[in-house]
Amino acid sequence: MNLEKYGPWALVIGGSEGVGAAFARLLAADGFKLVLTARKTAPLEELADELRGKGAEVRILSADLSKPDVLDQIRTVTDDIDVGLLVYNAGANDTRGLFTELPEAVTQSVISINVLGQANLSRHYGALMVKRGRGGIILGGSLSSYLGSPTLAAYTASKAFSRIFSEALWAELKPLGVDVLHLNIGFTATPAMARLGMPIELAEPPETVAREGLDNIADGPVWIVSTPGNIERARLINGVDNRAETVLAHAIAPREDTARQAHEHKLLAEG
């Protein structure tokens, strides 16, 4: 990772575990100083101690990304440093249900994290990068951004926003020296998925996802992680014809079937 272009500090949102922690470890190994934010303090402190033990300079902040003042909170630990890379990795979904039946607080939280959070942090840190004429933004995305799925209405819609927003932001900032990448991932073996009871034996390791994001930050606006079956699924569910049939036939599977579905897509891609 080019420290001169994207450093010296990287801000990793959702940086306590899974893909976020993988980003942090890779960036620390490349000499970046780190600001890590997440909701839970203990995992943040544990990772920070690990990275400091290897010589990295690390700041941490416990912050709830669904709250309207979260940017102000994050700025308390970044206003005095030069953030050249923003990695927005937060946005997993832990609640499924009919949109009209889910509590408003649940859907508002999803929208706040995946839409307002990405937009507001990209505006603030992107503007600072533009002033310097260098920097990079990686926004975490999902294959679900290509298809509205029942019981996941707010989540899939917010991921669609992230992808389209990333494309537009990429076109705006690329000529100004700032790279933008929507990192589109599939089924990944994260602690969040494990806590939901999903079988993650066939899932992509977080380290692979983070490495592809860093290696391809200049290849935006969208990078689909190269897990076999990901690109094929994106093509399958992104067609403009017969959307009714596509939505009903290819909705995101129930959690207990996710690993099976991912394995089937992998086998199909491998021929």
Mean pLDDT by 10 residues, the chain (271 residues): 96 93 97 96 97 98 96 98 97 87 96 97 98 98 94 96 98 98 81 57 81 97 92 92 93 66 55 58
Write out the DSSP string of the chain: --HHHH-SEEEEET-SSHHHHHHHHHHHHTT-EEEEEES-HHHHHHHHHHHHTTT--EEEEE--TTSTTHHHHHHTTTTTS-EEEEEE----------TTTS-HHHHHHHHIIIIIIHHHHHHHHHHHHHHHT-EEEEEEEEGGGGS--TT-HHHHHHHHHHHHHHHHHHHHHGGGTEEEEEEEE-SB--HHHHHTT---TTSBPHHHHHHHHHHTTTS-SEEE---TTHHHHHHHH--SS-HHHHHHHSPPPPHHHHHHHHHHHHHHHT-
Looking up tokens 């599939």 gives 186
The per-residue pLDDT for 205 is 87
The contacts of residue 21 (CB under 8 Å, 6+ apart) are 15, 43, 47, 206
What distance in Å separates the CA atoms of residue 166 and residue 151, rounded to the nearest whole number? Answer: 25
> What is the pTM (predicted TM-score) of this model?
0.90
- Tell which residue, 145, 136, 113, has the closest CA to residue 10: 136
Q: What angle do CA 49, 192, 6 make, to 5 degrees?
A: 55
Read off the tokens for 114. 């995946």
The per-residue pLDDT for 95 is 87
The per-residue pLDDT for 212 is 96
The per-residue pLDDT for 132 is 97
Q: Within a 10 A sphere around the Cβ of 224, how many other Cβ atoms?
A: 21
pLDDT digits over 58-82, tens only?
999 999 999 999 999 999 999 999 9
What domains appear along the chain, each with residue ranges and CATH number?
Answer: 3-269 (3.40.50.720)
Read off the tokens for 237. 């569910």
Q: What is the mean pLDDT of the chain?
A: 90
- Tell which residue, 184, 266, 176, 258, has the closest CA to residue 227: 266
- Tell which residue, 61, 66, 91, has the closest CA to residue 166: 91
- Cis peptide bond upstream of 8, omega within 30: yes
The per-residue pLDDT for 6 is 98
Strand partners, 86: 11, 137
Report the Cα 81 to chain-centroid distance in Å. 23
In this structure, what is the dihedral angle of CA atoms 138, 170, 184, 82, given to the nearest 10 degrees? 0
Is-contact 31 105, C-beta < 8 A? no
Cα-atom radius of gyration of the chain, to the nearest Å?
18
